[in-house]
Chain A
Amino acid sequence: MEEGELVGLLGPNGAGKSTLVKIGCGLVRASAGEAYVCGARAGSAEARAAMGYLAELFRFPGWTTADELLELHQRLAGSAGGAEERAELLELVGLEDARRRRVEAMSKGMQQRLGIAQALVGTPRFLFLDEPTSALDPGGRRTVRGLLEELRRGGVAVLLNSHLLSEVELVCDRVAILSRGSIVAEGRPSELARPRGVEVDVDGGTRLFAGAGREEAPRIVAGLVASGEQVYGVRVLETTLEEIYLEAVGDDTA
């Protein structure tokens, strides 16, 4: 992965997405092969100092406040950001008013936002986010999308593990689809998409030119106009990420 690149990791349950993320974080030992994070061997102190992580099934101690939790992680990460960094992070995830609130008094969505703030402590260069929006409402998801784009602009690489295909499609530069522990499809969403046809709105209704691609659209429109049709709209149809995904994983949908 490149600096500032946002890669979405997709795959059915049990495909190995969380295991891959855990190998990257040093939580699980790889049975074969090697993994490196920011040039350092995954799991080493150097790699852990360069990364941030939000687990899929995480929990924070209920007795800590949001500010105390971030302070703890600042100390563990060796961050010198102090109160200013904590305030910035809480504002970034929309928890500026919950600074003194105990974790046990927070909703699941608030805890997930706090988890993202925790992962950002110490200005990591690489972020592992395992289902970071699973407990968020649509507004919260939009906040996280904006945050991810901001991180990208700041040069932070993000590996985003998510079941929400639409979300991945919206924010990721690249996607990798895993099935039974192997990558079965990988690339930019636009590269993975295949043309499905061109739809044209004419007087008599909508006509579909199946299999046609974007580059054929002008010729199709010109032909229709030449034959006396009134053209009101043109749409180029491509396979969605969901279709690409289902095709790639085949019957591995457990």
Chain B
Amino acid sequence: MRGVPVVVGYALRESLRRRVFLVVLVLTAAFVALYWLGAQKAFEAVDESEPPPAAALAGIDTRTLTGATLFGLSMFGTLFLGVVLAAFLTLSVVRGDAERGLLQPLVVRPIGRAALLVGRFLAAAAVCTVYVLAVYGANLAITWSTGSWRPDRIVEPALELTAAVAVIAALSLLGSVVLSATANGIAVFMVFGAGLVAGLLGQIGEVLESDTLRDVAEVTSWVLPFEALYQDGLNAITADTSGFTEFALQLGPFGGAQPGGPFLWPWTVAYLLLVGVAALAAFARKDL
């Protein structure tokens, strides 16, 4: 594994020099600017207008309702952009690069295939972690500066978003061993979409008290823990909110998230290891 730092350095330089990184930066700037505009206008509306009579009567905190909904939206956007970045950094690492002739000169060097794959994962995870934390931090600052609202938990959701993106990077690396770049990209985004849909079904199941929908969401969360991490992060931003405000949040698209429970982090670590072992085993046997 002495070659891991060399591969990490190579992959980091590749990440920063490829044009796709510039595209991601431009799109991120557009996303953050859009979020700033939305937050500005939303909190202006909260400040300038009276809350609806029913909301006032129920004691719903409209600032919290607005802030949590906006921040939940920003978390979804951050997760999505992080997933896009993770997928682009990893989707062609093995088969895609081998088909283009980029991989063979590296693999024949004495560092070994395992070091190559581990180095690629660490580099992708590092880039995505920095990226997700930067976007998360920017949105946090915008929400605070425009509406004087901040989430009940700050660090926990940030870490969970980065872990969720790392899970996607690991799945994408595993997919890259067996699938071509295009097929892997499609597969990664379909898995991501399936996880989100299952999470939404779980939220609907909570409101409707449907055991079937809740079971679907729970099983999916174990199979695709990035969804459980995202849900737990969403739940954490209003962890101390209660009463009718909490109830109103649960009715919204980002408010009904469920906590992941004490096994979420251990399972995430075990899941990353399992996916890593599967990827290494498949790569070790792959003819190039």
Are the CB atoms of A78 and B110 closer together than 8 Å? yes
- List residues of A (52-107) whose CB comes within 8 Å of B's CBs: 53, 55, 57-61, 63, 72-73, 75-78
Q: Does A48 contact B (CB under 8 A)?
A: yes
* Chain B residues whose C-beta falls within 8 Å of the C-beta of A147 in the assembled complex: none
Interface string of B92-133 (1 = CB under 8 A from A): 000000001110111111111000000000000000000000
Q: Does B6 contact A (CB under 8 A)?
A: yes
Q: Which residue of chain B is the closest to A50 with respect to CB atoms?
A: B110
Contact (A76, B18) CB under 8 Å given A27-B288, A28-B287, A28-B288: no
A51 to B101, CA, bound (A): 18
In whole Å, how far is B194's beta carbon from the nearest beta carbon of chain A?
33
Interface string of B128-170 (1 = CB under 8 A from A): 0000000000000000000000000000000000000000000
Interface string of B28-51 (1 = CB under 8 A from A): 000000000000000000000000
Most buried by A among B100, B108, B287: B108
Are the CB atoms of B6 and A22 closer together than 8 Å? no
**Count, chain A residues at interface, CB 8 A:** 27
Are the CB atoms of B287 and A76 closer together than 8 Å? no
* Chain A residues whose C-beta falls within 8 Å of the C-beta of B259 in the assembled complex: none
**Count, chain B residues at interface, CB 8 A:** 22
- List residues of A (172-228) whose CB comes within 8 Å of B's CBs: none
Are the CB atoms of B102 and A53 closer together than 8 Å? no
Q: Does A112 contact B (CB under 8 A)?
A: no
Q: Does A26 contact B (CB under 8 A)?
A: yes
Q: Which residue of chain A is the closest to B116 with respect to CB atoms?
A: A76
- Give the top 10 A-B pairs by smallest Cβ distance, nearest first: A76-B109, A59-B101, A63-B17, A49-B110, A27-B288, A48-B110, A75-B6, A28-B287, A58-B101, A53-B108
In whole Å, how far is B89's beta carbon from the nearest beta carbon of chain A?
14
A48 to B104, CA, bound (A): 12
* Chain B residues whose C-beta falls within 8 Å of the C-beta of A60 in the assembled complex: 102, 105
A146 to B3, CA, bound (A): 34
Are the CB atoms of A72 and B288 closer together than 8 Å? no
Most buried by A among B10, B14, B105: B105
A27 to B283, CA, bound (A): 11
A204 to B234, CA, bound (A): 101
Are the CB atoms of A53 and B105 closer together than 8 Å? yes
* Chain B residues whose C-beta falls within 8 Å of the C-beta of A28 in the assembled complex: 287-288
Interface string of B267-288 (1 = CB under 8 A from A): 0000000000000000001011
Are the CB atoms of B6 and A57 closer together than 8 Å? no
Residue from A22, A61, A73, A78 in contact with B288 in the complex, judged by beta carbons closer than 8 Å: A22
Residue from A27, A63, A78, A115 in contact with B108 in the complex, judged by beta carbons closer than 8 Å: A27
Are the CB atoms of B101 and A76 closer together than 8 Å? no
